[in-house]
Amino acid sequence: MEQKEFNQMMAAEIARKLGDAYIVEYKDVAKGNGFIRHGITIRNSGTDSGTMPILYSENEYKEYLEGSTICECADRFIQKYEESRVNDNVAGSMRDKLLDWLFVRKNVYPALISAHENQEMLSDLLHKSFMDLAVIYVIRMKDPDGNPATVKVTPGMLKFWGVEAEEFCEAAMENLAKDGYKILGQMDVICHFVDRREPTPVESIVPGSMYVYTNGTAFYGAAGMLLKDRIRQVADSRNVFILPSSIHETLLIVDDGFFDQKYLDDMVKAVNRDAVAVTDRLSDHAYYYDYEDDEIRMCA
């Protein structure tokens, strides 16, 4: 049985067990680059459908494949739902923050994703084109457990806040400029993971080395490509290859004539295939910053 059919049967069994006081629905959630998570929503019939959380059912599906019945899986899912309700007050606080434009104004940031791989998701999101990529907008906050969380922005949310798209996008770019972007030597980054030594940012890049370019949280840090003035500053009168390591960071290499574009494109594809999660892949080719023209363009 495929997971979609499993979820439909689970939703029906959960609805039967909970009765008419609850509305149970099966939901597919696009997480990026065509990756879909399967979930179920449960809400009181008198609750606004816009505030209901989605609980994912991958674990129950695995248990079903290992021999559990639909009824047993439904019982465990209902228990998970009941446990999640303990955090309702915190979740309500999160919703209150999303309704507050002053909070959103200080916590919204641009993010870069693949336009081609996310066409369906982009149809529901506020976005702009950036070469073959798409600029989306995310609100950073904390989930009920205190972990970092993001909420993607839709055009309908702007209407609720009464904010025009131009003002909204300007606010996001202002926040991006203050997001702690830094450029690190690749060996410094490796040492940081080996012995927790804090890497020292560099002020300019030189030929023969590869540099990591990301923000202070290393989360959606590839959006630093939108800060062209920052790249120009560290390029120090040189042209620079920009490799999309993931949606969270890019790599910078001075174009000294040593690297061939096809070699770099092949490097990006190999890293994507072997080391980057599907949801974190940004592009399968390099980009290029031309210092004289002061522009970033696709290499492909």
pLDDT in tens, the chain (300 residues): 888 888 889 889 999 888 888 888 888 777 777 777 888 888 777 655 445 567 888 888 889 899 999 999 999 888 888 766 655 544 566 778 888 999 999 999 999 999 999 998 899 899 999 999 999 999 998 766 667 788 899 999 999 999 999 999 999 999 999 999 998 887 665 554 455 556 677 888 888 888 999 998 889 999 999 999 999 999 989 999 999 999 999 999 999 888 888 899 999 999 888 888 888 999 999 999 999 999 999 985
Give the count of beta carbons closer than 10 Å to the beta carbon of residue 65: 11
Q: What pLDDT sits at residue 48?
A: 52
Q: Indicate whether 74 belongs to any domain.
A: yes
Give whole-number Cα distances, 173 to 102, 128, 138, 233, 296, in Å: 16, 13, 12, 18, 17
What's the full length of the chain, in residues?
Answer: 300
Based on the fold, state whether residues 168 and 247 are members of the same structural domain.
no
Residues 259 and 166 in one domain: no
Task: Establish if 233 belongs to a structural domain.
Answer: yes
pTM for this one? 0.76
Counted domains in the chain? 3
Would residue 92 count as lying in a domain? no
User: What pLDDT score does 101 carry?
Assistant: 94
Give the residue from 87, 121, 136 where a domain finishes. 87
Contacts of residue 272, Cβ cutoff 8 Å, sequence gap at least 6: 281, 284
Residue 21: inside a domain, yes or no? yes
Specify if 93 maps to a domain. no
**What angle, rounded to 10 degrees, do the helices at 3-18 and 58-65 form?**
100
Cα–Cα distance for residue pair 53/46, rounded to 1 Å: 15
pLDDT, residue 54, reads 77
Cα angle for residues 271, 277, 280 (degrees, 5° grid): 95
Those residues whose C-beta lies under 8 Å from the C-beta of residue 249, and which sit 6 or more positions away, are: 212, 213, 214, 218, 221, 222
DSSP state of 227: -
Supply 8's token pair: 């439909």
Q: How confident is the model at residue 192, as a pLDDT?
A: 45
Q: Are 245 and 211 within 8 A, CB to CB?
A: no
Instruction: Mark which of 177, 209, 243 sits at the end of a domain.
Output: 177
Q: Which two tokens stand for residue 78?
A: 């209902």
Q: Which of 87, 111, 135 marks a domain boundary?
A: 87
Residue 281, both tokens:
């892949």
Domain housing 279: 182-298
- Identify whether residues 125 and 215 lie together within a single domain: no
State the first-to-last Cα distance of the chain, in angstroms, to the nearest integer: 41
Q: Quick one: 161 and 195 in the same domain?
A: no
Whether 214 is in a domain gets the answer yes
89: left (phi over 0), alpha (psi -120 to 50) or beta: alpha
Whether 68 and 106 map to the same domain: the answer is no
